[in-house]
Structure 1
Amino acid sequence: MNEELQAVEAELLARLPETKIDPTLEREQALMDLLGEPQRSYQSVHITGTNGKTSTARMIDQLLGAFELRTGRLTSPHLASVTERITLDGEPISAERFVEVYRDIKPYMEMVDSGVGVPEREGGPLPLSFFEAVTGLGYAAFADAPVDVAVVEVGMGGTWDSTNVIDAAVSVVTPIDLDHTDKLGGTPGEIAVEKSGIIKPGGIAVLAQQPVDAAQVLLKHAVEVDATVAREGMEFGVLSRQVAVGGQLLTLRGLGGEYPDVFLPLHGEHQAHNAAVALAAAEAFFGVGAAQNEPLNIEKVRAAFASVRSPGRMEVVRRSPTVLLDAAHNPAGARATAAAVQEAFGFTRLVGVLAVAKDKDVRGVLEAFEPVLAEVVVTRNSLPRSMPPDELAALAVEVFGPDRVQVETRLDDAIDAAVALAEEEGDLGGAGVLVTGSVITAGEARVLLGTLEG
């Protein structure tokens, strides 16, 4: 089956990459029409934002599952296997089922590729992209399962993202910051225009704390479509948090009341805020704060959060020295990770391994990590978009100085070099390595190093 999955993945990767965006829902909607609108056969929660989408999606998934709902989850990108993008009841779809669903819908994808159901365009029809195809595969798999509710993370933006053929009753916007500025806009407010498109008429919009200009755009759109709004810091939020062994202990204020003594096995203040957003989204889905005024069952909420895992997000994969993986790939994410590392681990010496896409704000990422890294080993991951190590090193030297930068052309060599640098101090208990810069970097390092859970 691995060979069959690899063959299917190769066919999908032969399509336009997910970084190539043609802003229209026409192809995805045509595929849905040919498949009989599978995305209408279950309820959905839709999530956009700049950072925290995948972790928030995982939390919402766990919360809904705790209340005996069968869940599907669509997230991107993946760490190691394409099957991770589509989950059923919190677990990646099996390779066998992934292949089966792909084969079932492949003839319909080929029809859309040839222009069936899509308005004519100059130069001929544009085939479905990799992301459009995987989105269609996910929606079909959810309908076939069947699931009660799908938790869906956008790929990029919102309005024209191919996931936006669903009609979600609850739309979630995690914090908006600068990323994909060439496609979405140069300010949080401009980016919010695109992301606000997932908020549906008459639905509920759950909004994390936002920059002022982004908040104004989101609220304006919500009013225009007569959506109910729940805002972090107003209708819900984090009341308190304490660092705990293996995570943090929270008191959350939800739409229906307070939820004390909630253990979250994830590090960082940003994850506490993601938890508040996820709780409000689950409450909104169940009608808490509207028709239902009682809070959700506190024991089920606690059990759901305690079982949350977010691979590749501040994930410990080795001890002595501690090796952390994190998918931070923009300055806002890097700042959150840097703060979380300091708070949760208190390393006396932390060495970074950085491989980042060349179309990102690389200097901003370097500047965010500089205060917490003693040294940085720059390298690349396997994607063509990864910045060449020599170019990354030139930028890193400007931020860190020449004595704190080392270059390795291979990720495995970079990790080995960073471990050696961390061990130079002799105090392995206080030394650490942080591998970061992109989801791909974290995923490839995860494969190289394995995980503590095996």
Structure 2
Amino acid sequence: RLREEAERAAADPNVGQPTEFEVGTAAALTYFAQAAVDVAVVEVGLGGRLDATNAVEPVVSVITPIGLDHTRVLGNTLAEIAAEKAGIIKPGVPVVCALQAPEARDVIAAKAKELGAPLYLAGRDFEGRLLSAGQEGTRFAVRWRDRWLEGLQVPLLGPHQAGNGAVAVAAVQLLSEAGFPVSEDALRRGLAAVRWPGRMELYPGKPALLFDGAHNAEGAQVLAEGIRALFPGQRPVFVLGMLDEKPIDAMLRILLPLGQAAVFTAARVGRGTPADPGDLARRAQGLVPSVGVERDPLAAVELARRWAGPDGLVCVSGSLYLVGELQGLLAGELRGARE
């Protein structure tokens, strides 16, 4: 049936050929309906206002931190990008909004007011408080309305997970109020079991491997803060590959001063044009003591391991495509590191 609908849309000049993402979204929503799921968590692909997922009528909408990303499509300012993100807000449907830069927050607040959507802002209506952050995970507390939930824990790394956790808790509380009750015990167990592949994901070893798909300046800043907090005094060897549309120089300025060396490579899969590793190496001069180029991602990791030594740290970042490709190539080894 999906094929028939896609072919019908493609033949209609007023609709046009559906994209891969649009067909995938339709397939997912069809599957959810057939499986009669109680709740579906549907993440926007790009932006929000014109995204295929925006056909969904939500119970709760969630807007996470907004940065300068996909600027060729979404706009060149935080306000422009926020306007696209705010396109998911529906009349009367509550919105949970993470901490934002003022120009992004103001756009979201104006849209929520226009549509009569109750807005719950981080820092005003709810907040997260970091209790501890280590290589085993993050502990935090969340204030929702006039009550604090203490001692929450996620196995995800980085101080920023307290803010992410607070957004998740706020969304769950609103879901409960909308008729989908989630007990505090279930909330705690869900947080404790969460997994986020490729985001501050650490694999023990000699050296240890840290995978993080940061691909914009804001993501690079979060990664840098995580490295400082979790690996004090340690200078990683970076393996970096990026798309040429990304804010490359800003990311290099944020990450490379933390490292002892960087090896540049390029993912062999994914959309977009990868930045040339040799060009990245030239742009990195003066930001890090040693620079290498290995166009094969696996060879780049091996070189980084040699430079880091058995007690060091290798950090793979710059692109989710690169992180995904290398985790696939190293799958057997990474499983062994976790066992």
For the superposition of Structure 1 and Structure 2, which TM-score range results when normalised by the shorter chain? over 0.9
Letter in 1 for 2:5: Y
Aligned residue in 2 for 1:447: 328
Deviates more, 1:250-259 or 1:168-177: 250-259
Letter in 2 for 1:234: R
The number of residues matched between the two structures is 333
Deviation of the 1:300 alpha carbon: 2.1
Q: What's the secondary structure of 1:377's corresponding residue?
A: strand
Q: Does 1:299 align with 2:188?
A: no
2: CA distance, partners of 1:224 / 1:148: 30
TM-aligned CA distance change 1:405 to 1:254, over 3 Å: same
Q: Does 1:109 align with 2:6?
A: yes
TM-score, with structure 1 as normaliser: 0.70
Answer yes or no: is the 8 Å Cα contact 2:257–2:287 preserved in 1: no
2: CA distance, partners of 1:353 / 1:371: 14
Aligned residue in 2 for 1:351: 237
1: CA distance, partners of 2:142 / 2:206: 34
2: CA distance, partners of 1:404 / 1:331: 22
| Deviation digits for residues 318-376 of structure 1 (CA, Å, limit 9, x no counterpart) | 41110111110001001101111221233523100001111111111111102211111
Aligned residue in 1 for 2:212: 326
1: CA distance, partners of 2:182 / 2:16: 46
Q: Does 1:392 align with 2:290?
A: no
Aligned residue in 2 for 1:317: 203
TM-aligned CA distance change 1:386 to 1:305, over 3 Å: same
Q: What's the secondary structure of 1:248's corresponding residue?
A: strand
Aligned to 2:250, which of 330, 348, 364? 364
2: CA distance, partners of 1:303 / 1:150: 18
Q: How does 1:164-243 map to 2 (within 5 A)?
A: 164-243=54-133
2: CA distance, partners of 1:440 / 1:272: 26
Deviation of the 1:258 alpha carbon: 1.3
1: CA distance, partners of 2:105 / 2:149: 26
Aligned residue in 2 for 1:287: 177
Letter in 1 for 2:208: T
TM-aligned CA distance change 1:296 to 1:130, over 3 Å: closer
1: CA distance, partners of 2:152 / 2:164: 13
Q: What's the secondary structure of 1:371's corresponding residue?
A: helix
Q: Does 1:382 align with 2:268?
A: yes
Deviation of the 1:256 alpha carbon: 6.3
TM-aligned CA distance change 1:205 to 1:237, over 3 Å: same
Letter in 2 for 1:110: E
1: CA distance, partners of 2:146 / 2:55: 30
Q: What's the secondary structure of 1:316's corresponding residue?
A: strand
2: CA distance, partners of 1:230 / 1:337: 27
Aligned residue in 2 for 1:126: 16
2: CA distance, partners of 1:132 / 1:398: 44
Q: How does 1:33-52 map to 2 (within 5 A)?
A: none
2: CA distance, partners of 1:214 / 1:378: 33
Answer yes or no: is the 8 Å Cα contact 1:255–1:280 preserved in 2: no
Determine which structure has greater relative contact order: mean sequence separation of CA pairs < 8 Å that are 6+ residues apart, divided by chain length: 1
Deviates more, 1:380-389 or 1:272-281: 380-389
Answer yes or no: is the 8 Å Cα contact 1:317–1:446 preserved in 2: no
Letter in 2 for 1:445: L
1: CA distance, partners of 2:8 / 2:182: 45
Percentage of identical aligned residues = 35
Aligned to 2:293, which of 407, 429, 446? 407
Deviation of the 1:255 alpha carbon: 3.8
Deviation of the 1:398 alpha carbon: 5.5
Deviation of the 1:265 alpha carbon: 0.7
Q: How does 1:23-102 map to 2 (within 5 A)?
A: none
2: CA distance, partners of 1:386 / 1:132: 24
Structure 2: runs of 5+ lacking an equivalent: none
